[in-house]
Structure 1
Amino acid sequence: MTKFLANWEVEADIILEPETPFLRYSHPTGRFTAFIRNVPEQRNDSTFLSMQFIFDAPSLLEAKEVGEPLAKEFLDHLALSSNLKVRLRRLFQIFNWEPSLQMRECLIYSPAYANDDAPYEAFDRSLLETVSLLQTIEPSPRVKRAMKWFSNGIAAKAPDDQFAFFWFAIELVAQVVKEASPVPDRCPNCGGPLHCSACDATPLHRPYPKQAIEQLFKKYVNGDPATLYQRASRARNSLMHGEDVATIETNLQIDFPELVDALGHLAWVAIINQFAPVLIGNTPRFLSTSRYVHMNMSGVAHMQLGFWPDFDNPDPGHFPKIEFSMVRYPPSSGPEEPPSTPG
């Protein structure tokens, strides 16, 4: 294993006390060491910390994959201890941090850019007319809450957060549209209705929340609603039991962003259909998207640099000053008009 240093910017609502140049923290079992210092400027009403995170990894190309989860875990503990926001914002460099080197292999990262064309020049009078049409009826409290969660899902940056918000929206609408007729409990293996041999009967009851959600998938998903429901339900259970996204993708053999996009589209369709009485016979204008998950692009330069750092105080102000930028070509496509409105 080789020792590496990752130079991170951390967005935080907590900073070091005045006259404290830096703080050093070492994990109790030696898994990593972190140096933390203030960043003087404030940007967009946000404050930042600078964190130099030292850890071991098999190679430079595997260092980010190893070090980033450790850094996030450390900040999660700090957030729990402080009750304040503290999260990774940007990675600047990763250096080989073995003390005997004069030439240091490193990765230099460019700023990350959103892989889309936002803001879109699509806000016109027709969208306001559609809003006016929707507001001619008063949605139920559950639909209003579903709209709130859907809006949060669009804005959330992490795919697992988006998944949770879209699922909340679907779960609420499912309670609105669930069928009133009784349903049986089903076998967890084959899905068939459970039968009581003593009574020679199949007990029935009103749909439970999980069954109502399954009904919603069947109602609004084209193609194969059963498969999408099974994947989404299993992913939801895995997230709620502490699995990370990479593990879920491996266990379910899925691309998690694609699942989030499908769930976001389903949430949108389910909510829009609650306004069907005012949409039928009118010509509302909706924008639609094929991707809800936010994708960022960043470049990385693999280099060798000659410098001798201060291992007792790795101040990034003394690191080599190397910056580069990216130009994306061709640009991605913007939002599209949906193929149809609910009927």
Structure 2
Amino acid sequence: MRFVANFEVASDVSVVADGQVLKICDPREAFKALIRNIPRSEFTAPFLLSVHVYFDADALDEAVDAAEDYLATCLNMLAFTTGSAFRKHRIRQIVDAEPSSKSAMRDVRMWSDRIEYDDPQPFLDHEHTKTIERLLEFDIPPAIRRALRWYRRGIDASSPDDQFTYFWFALEIVAEFQKPAAKVNDKCPHCQSALYCEKCETHPQHRPYAKQAIRALLMEADDSCDDATAALLDKTRNSLMHGATLKEIEGSLPDPHESVIDTLGRLLWKALAKQFPREMFDGSLVMGVPSTYVHYKATAVAHIQTVVPIDADGHFDLNFTGMVMAMKPFGPPQSALPSAVRMTSEQLDQLRSLSYQKGNQQEMLERIRQNVREQGGHIYALVISTDMAAIHKAIERGEVGEWQDLFRQFIDTAQVVY
């Protein structure tokens, strides 16, 4: 079956004319790609290229992976031939492009726009700055500074493959830095016992190889790290360095295969922590590690049937004007911690009533009503920081109204929720 996928691509370069369409035709006829600019009316938005990829697949459900592979081929060659950056921004649709005259309706798999914004996790506090000041009392060696840089790059990297690679760079730097000067025996590749030279009547020795130093570092960083874990990390590193991807070797990795990144990241963090004087970790330092290093993104996908127009050149017009699929955030952007307010059952009934009335703050009242819990014989409502700021502002201004009067009754019970 024939399909067409609609991608948006972030790039440092653009097509020389907004109306111009560039075409890449695979010599083996595996795919065809059409590239054009997406003109911007607001220049605060990032510039994007539109890339439509025509290809064959067995079914719509199986077309996603094929589309991603063909897009990667196009972007790799674009980067190779131009020396410029190309990065997938998002996929919009995959449309059944099979020639047919029976019906104008076509099957479409449609992805929503990304959620309007991602709120940060309220986490930083005075304890963290004090911890940093305490750690900086130690004169950090240049090698460990470089390793810390790669750890930071690994946390921030959007691709799981890049995250693993950057974490491994940091691990190698630390391992080389603390590699012992004492020599070790050469080992038999089968039984791992020390090799013996009959002519010299001795066990050949050498300084630890990089692989041996890394294994020793992993074992020292965490007592629970065993030979199987070290072998898994080393095998993953070898596969990535020889051109494979985590997706390609996922059959040999734990499920989910991204968990290997968390394993390496946590071991690396422990190895880095051990480079600081032990006496610094007296219980006064406040440090954190994420529940996962992998950056997961939520999106919504719909399977619909609709009419897809065709332009004068016979290509599908995938603008889908008038049809919007979007993920709406729970509330306005926030960066601070939420608060909890305590109220009576009568006050809760009044809040419910007000949340159904039309008004400027109906959405805010609805958000608060949806986050009500009963605990210890009391009724608590969670109020996000942006809404709490609006409530405080209205009360401080002396605004008159039913919802303002309601919150005046229990605003003094508000406590920040950690």
Residue 24 of structure 1 corresponds to which residue in structure 2? Answer: 23
Does the aligned pair in 2 maintain the 1:11–1:48 contact within 8 Å? yes
Secondary structure class of the residue paired with 2:248: helix
How many residue pairs get aligned? The number is 326
* Cα distance change, pair 148–92 in 1 and its aligned pair in 2 (3 A): same
Residue of structure 1 equivalent to 2:54: 54
Q: Deviations over 1:59-118 (max 9, x none)?
A: 00000011101111110110111111111110011000012152211101113459x985
Amino acid at match of 1:129: K
Query: Normalising by the residue count of structure 2, what TM-score does the alignment of the two structures yield?
Result: 0.73
Give the letter aligned to residue 240 of structure 2.
L
Equivalent in the alignment of 1:84? 84
Distance across 2 between alignment mates of 1:14 and 1:38: 10
Shift of 1:206: 1.3
Distance in 1 of aligned mates of 2:192 and 2:226:
15
3-state SS of 1:90 partner: strand
Give the residue type in structure 2 aligned to 1:202.
H
Per-residue displacement from partner, 1:162-184 (whole Å, max 9, x unpaired)?
00110011111112222332112
Query: Quick check: 2:18–2:38 contact (8 Å CA) kept in 1?
Result: no
Deviation at 1:327, TM superposition (A): 6.5
User: What is the percentage of aligned positions where both structures have the same residue?
Assistant: 33
Q: CA deviation at 1:258?
A: 0.7
Query: Match for 2:316: what amino acid?
Result: P
C-alpha deviation, 1:318, in angstroms:
5.5
Residue by residue over 1:119-151, the C-alpha shift from the partner in whole angstroms, topping out at 9 and shown as x without a partner, is: 111111111111101111211111000000000
Q: Is the 8 A contact 2:108 2:304 kept in 1?
A: yes
Secondary structure of 1:246's counterpart equals coil
Residue in structure 2 matched with residue 332 of structure 1 by the alignment: none
**Kept in 1: contact 2:107–2:303 (CA 8 A):** yes
The SS at the match of 2:277 is helix
Per-residue displacement from partner, 1:17-50 (whole Å, max 9, x unpaired)? 1254311221111111111111112665632101
- Which residue of structure 2 aligns with residue 93 of structure 1? 93
Q: Higher relative CO (CA 8 A, sep ≥ 6), structure 1 or 2? A: 1
Write the distance in 2 (CA, Å) between the matches of 1:325 and 1:282: 43
- Are residue 139 (structure 1) and residue 140 (structure 2) matched? yes
* 1:246 Cα offset (Å): 2.1
Alignment of 1:178-189 (within 5 A): 178-189=179-190
Match of 1:104 in 2: 106
Matched with 2:349 is none
Query: In 2, distance between residues paired with 1:182 and 1:303?
Result: 66
Q: Sort the Cα spacing of 1:76 and 1:126 in 2 relative to 1 into closer, same or farther, 3 A.
A: same
**What is the CA distance between 1:189 and its match in structure 2?**
3.4
Q: TM-score, normalised by structure 1?
A: 0.88
> In the alignment, is the contact (CA less than 8 A) between 2:114 and 2:327 conserved in 1?
no
Quickly say closer, same or farther: Cα 1:86–1:21, change in 2 above 3 A.
Answer: same
Change (3 A) 1:24 1:147: same
Q: Secondary structure at the match of 1:157?
A: coil
Aligned to 1:323: 325
Spell out, residue by residue over 1:280-314, the C-alpha distance to the aligned partner (whole angstroms, 9 max, x if none): 43611101222101111211111111234236343
Contact kept, 8 Å, 2:150 with 2:166, in 1: the verdict is yes
Residue identity matched to 2:105: M
Is 1:136–1:278's contact at 8 Å kept on the other side of the alignment? no
Secondary structure of 1:21's aligned partner: coil
- CA RMSD across the alignment: 2.3
- Spell out the pairing of 1:218-233 with structure 2 (5 A cutoff): 218-233=219-234
Q: 3-state SS of the aligned residue for 1:179?
A: coil
Q: Determine the C-alpha separation between the residues in 1 that align with 2:185 and 2:244.
A: 31
Counterpart Cα distance in 2 of 1:29 and 1:113: 38
Q: Which residue of 2 aligns with 1:341?
A: none
TM-superposed deviation, 1:252: 4.5
Q: Distance in 2 between matches of 1:307 and 1:118?
A: 35
Question: 1:252/1:197 Cα in 2 relative to 1: closer, same or farther (>3 Å)?
Answer: farther
Residue 264 (str. 1) matches residue 265 (str. 2): yes
- Look up the match of 1:303: 304
2:7–2:52 contact (8 Å) kept in structure 1: yes
Structure 2 segments unaligned to the other structure (5+ residues): 331-418
Cα pair distance change 1:185/1:256, threshold 3 Å: farther
2:249 aligned residue:
248
CA contact (8 A) 1:39 1:48 kept: yes
Look up the match of 1:75.
75
Alpha-carbon distance between aligned partners in 2 of 1:306 and 1:19, rounded to the nearest angstrom: 26
- What residue is the counterpart of 1:333 in the other structure? none
Q: Is the 8 A contact 2:261 2:293 kept in 1?
A: yes
Give CA deviations for 1:171-226 in whole Å, capped at 9, x if unaligned.
Answer: 11112222332112233333333333433432111111111101001101232431
Q: Which has the larger radius of gyration?
A: 2
Q: Distance in 2 between matches of 1:185 and 1:43?
A: 62
3-state secondary structure, aligned to 1:275 = coil
SS class of match (2:249): helix
Q: 1:162 to 1:44 in 2, by over 3 A?
A: farther
CA offsets 1:232-270 (integer angstroms, 9 cap, x no match): 101100111111212222134554311100111111111
